[in-house]
Structure 1
């Protein structure tokens, strides 16, 4: 089982039963497509594109195909309920998963509602009736049927789809001989703009093709049946849709076909007679009913999956004991369905659903790329996309280009849905969701690789060429000796320089000692000292660093620093303005060292911390320990990736090393516990607006009973705009 597969797979109260075979899955997929797209939209699309509407249906299928291939692969790696939402969530994190879950759920409910209202136009052929109330009654019946369980629903779905496919095949066979070639000319009567606009309009016809993945947890032999059903469905639609539309165009006068809401019925009147029209109208009713039913089946699984991942209220994750169906998810979906068919003009909402689905399909392709490029151990699909990544890149580009053909209203509506998803996540889901994802893993791997290379450079470069030691007033002589001896440990032998700036007049001539000078001479390090008054301390240091090319600044950070305003002010200013790395010594003086603990890894200070630790450890013949604490709810994969990162860093070090990676609620307490036995602790010191170091760094240092080096570097590489955007989306 993958690290991402939660305990819900073994929990009978939130696990679904595998009852669906290949044909049942295939009919769910086909049934989710064949409906309003072919029975209602061709007339509208013909008015936009003319005879090239035939090609528009085919092009729309080509845009869908990469997402179908990507979804087939991901479904075999994660055969769980949730489909598109699940894959995007695990690929790019809970924020993008929430947006996808919202968007797909809305688009499916919109399409199901559109199908139910579309029934009215065809039922009108049989008997006059009030359109909206009848659609609401049909919605209630479908919800009640789904509440009994998917196995019973799937049987009905299989029967409906079989009848629809058989009669559509008959429509093509009997209709083709009656087509008139002149009705197809000129083929591009409205030009390429008309063709692409019609392609965007009819895209909604393919929305349901990948929705079978949302019931993946209920499919027998998912590694075989899911990709077979999805790709077979696309193949059927790519042949069936253009063929049916070709018959409509070939047998129907253009004036009658353009704009009609019952195009297949209008075409049947040309060659099938009255009885044939009854049959076709009946088929249309069955097809629209089938699509609405498939929409309820698939859409109800999205709130179920989101609740199971803590992105929706937990009651939506409950399973009916007898039916095995997500009862709460079906009920919520049913309520939305009834409200929509009663009160909302759905033709525009269908366009909004289509526009958002284009974005979702682009994200599906992007999700597969994230999984592939992350090289996750648990991602082992039984089916793999051929010719990767060409289909995915084509799918992303084509979906976004087609989106531009939808018009301003669908675009604005899609943006509103995106913001709704973001708002829901920020308010409800962010504090509850597990934020690990394939994209986050990929960024972590990329960042770790950069940090490893920078750490390697820091270690192989050796000691610092020019180190500046600041002696402020007042500083005990023993502390001054500690600062100088720390500089000795960090300065490059054979040519390095140490410069001491002393602002404490009481210690004139005491630092460095004769023994320290002798040790420096033995190492080949040049030592110079300067005595200054208290005036303009920070200006003098800043000027010296820039003029002399200092690459490391060392200063004492007393424990009472928060109560010593002038010290805080000066050291904070120096940290922010010096162009070199800084080391602040906190707590006890440094004496004999046999183990150095580096607290927290995977951040921008790693190269500086590791370079300093390795150089001191070599000087003292000591070892290094990496200590890292993860959240208690973090997946095991996070700890594994951190340990692998430590192993990469360990290969760089020239001294023995080990690591401790532990989950914990109390970060400070756990870091302190695993730092015991260390004679020196090294900790990153991020900038703080009011203090020399952050409150967290200060609390960690206070909790430790050993010397602490707080390191800071001004040369942090700021991520690019694209990287920062991706980090915001996946966090």
Structure 2
């Protein structure tokens, strides 16, 4: 049985699946991938986290927290790029784990990624609901309190209906095809980046250097804790690797899409952090919409309104790309027999996995409608960091496999960089709370039950 648990999937079998009737259509270029990455990364992280994390953990040194998290992500991104260009198949880290470490590790990775993508969608949808309320209130439109927040009878909220509705609307878009989805994503990404640049250009004239004092009020430990939390802001570039099977010339385009989107987003995060903490004291930024709040403090209400609109639009792209990554992961699991085969069925008209998209959206919508935002965010981080650790370590084993043709992209400074990436991810994971570890443990127990009750017996490798 132990041998069966660690049976690896031959690379020729994976590539053979791409030519079968269940394959996904190749339509995406490098620019599409970069926009998918920016669409996934820039959202809750830039509109909410720079304020809340600065107020509680990092102070104005939040910019260092973003840089540290960016370095960790950049190292992991280089490892992802090599895998994505060498093994251009749907499933991201799950597929890479299947080839390198075997089925059991692959399942655990896939289960961790389902946690990441699903809760990322749920948490961003929850944050989107808050910004939508703020935006509509400017027009004196009020969503009933009882249906505008997570389940909390003491506060008078029972379900977050706007969060549920946006998830189902995005699911509808995704079922219509990835090319149609990327067109919508492109327009929304351009709009939200324009809004962010507007905030920076207006806010820079109201920066007061005294607001940066003290620069590191919680010490370097606070900066590290902040880095573990703002890591959430960078989630999304790994979702780009889920698109590998739908990319034209993946050996060239995958590394450009993954690394390019990360560079663009890091620069924007740093600029927003510096300007935001310079406009308003970090002690006042622990609010649900810190960017709009800072503009209201300096009496730039018209810009605050535009930023709120940009946030509403911008978060939609995050939901779109992260849900896309989740559905493609479920598709890969279904195609391998670890989940029911209906999860890998491709609709003949739209060439998308329609059944799996609606199933996934329904489960995620339940989380978005009932669980508070702060509980969702930390759980997302732990699933991602675990995936990053395995992908980083996997590069060493990938180079040793002689049956895999070398990809166009190679992780530089091998093997030092993959090992450093692994160690940095392991360090950040230790900064997360005990409650997060407990919840993650429960999630993995559920995953083990499903694997041994269904996946192990129905795996296509049994044939």
- TM-score where L is the length of structure 1: 0.58
The match for 1:545 is none
Give 4+ residue runs of structure 1 displaced > 3 Å after superposition: 431-435
Cα offset, 1:188, TM superposition = 1.4
**Equivalences for residues 324-335 of structure 1 within 5 A:** 324-335=351-362
Distance 2:209 2:394 in 1: 44
Q: Residue 17 of structure 1: CA displacement? A: 0.4
Residue 340, structure 1, aligned to residue 367, structure 2: yes
* Aligned equivalent of 2:288, options 254, 261, 267: 261
Matched, 1:313 2:344: no
- Alpha-carbon separation, structure 2, partners of 1:389 and 1:355: 24
Q: Quick one: distance in 2 between partners of 1:337 and 1:432?
A: 25
Query: d(CA) in 2 for partners of 1:113 and 1:48?
Result: 24
Q: CA deviation at 1:224?
A: 1.2
1:40 paired with 2:48, answer yes
Relative to structure 1, the CA distance from residue 312 to residue 165 in structure 2 (aligned partners, 3 Å threshold; closer, same or farther) is same
Closer, same or farther in 2 for the Cα pair 1:286/1:415, shift >3 Å?
same
Name the larger-Rg structure. 1
What residue in structure 1 maps to residue 320 of structure 2?
293
| Change beyond 3 A, Cα 1:277–1:262 | same
Structure 1 residues without counterparts, runs of 5 or longer: 436-630, 634-731
Alignment: residue pair count: 434
**Residue 432 of structure 1: how far off its partner (Å):** 3.9
Map 1:182-331 → 2, pairs under 5 A? 182-257=210-285, 259-271=286-298, 273-331=300-358
Q: Does 1:31 align with 2:57?
A: no
Match of 2:445 among 394, 419, 424: 419
Q: Is the counterpart of residue 380 in structure 1 residue 406 in structure 2?
A: yes
* Whole-Å separation in 1 of the counterparts to 2:405 and 2:394: 12
The structure richer in helix per residue is 2
Q: Does 1:401 align with 2:419?
A: no
The structure, 1 or 2, with the larger RCO (C-alpha pairs under 8 Å, 6+ apart) is: 2
Instruction: Answer yes or no: is 1:390 the counterpart of 2:398.
Output: no
Q: For 1:37-186, what aligned pairs fall within 5 Å after superposition?
A: 37-46=45-54, 47-125=56-134, 126-127=136-137, 128-129=142-143, 130-131=147-148, 132-186=160-214
CA distance in 2, matches of 1:338, 1:385: 37
Displacement after TM superposition at 1:260 (Å): 0.9
| Distance in 2 of aligned mates of 1:356 and 1:179 | 37
The root-mean-square deviation of aligned C-alpha atoms, in Å, is: 1.7
Does residue 356 of the first structure (1) align with residue 356 of the second (2)?
no
Determine if contact 2:77/2:258 at 8 Å carries over to the other structure.
Answer: yes
Equivalents in 2 of 1:433, 1:387: separation in Å?
37
Q: Deviations over 1:301-328 (max 9, x none)?
A: 0110011112111111110111111112
Could you tell me how far apart the structure 2 residues matched to 1:17 and 1:401 are? Answer: 39
In structure 2, distance between residues paired with 1:44 and 1:282: 20
Q: 1:57: Cα distance to partner? A: 1.1
1:120 Cα shift? Answer: 2.2
Unaligned runs of 5+ in 2: 1-9, 149-159
Give the CA deviation at 1:157: 0.6
Q: Secondary structure at the match of 1:430?
A: helix
Say which SS state the counterpart of residue 235 (structure 2) adopts: helix
Instruction: Return the offset for 1:273.
Output: 1.2
Q: Closer, same or farther in 2 for the Cα pair 1:400/1:330, shift >3 Å? A: same
* Alpha-carbon distance, 1:375 to partner: 2.9
Instruction: Give 1:2 deviation, angstroms.
Output: 4.4
> How far does the alpha carbon of each residue in 1:8-29 deviate from its partner, in whole angstroms, 9 at most, with x for none?
22222x1000111222211111
C-alpha distance after superposition, 1:163-208 (max 9, x if no partner): 1112212222332232111111221110111111111111111111
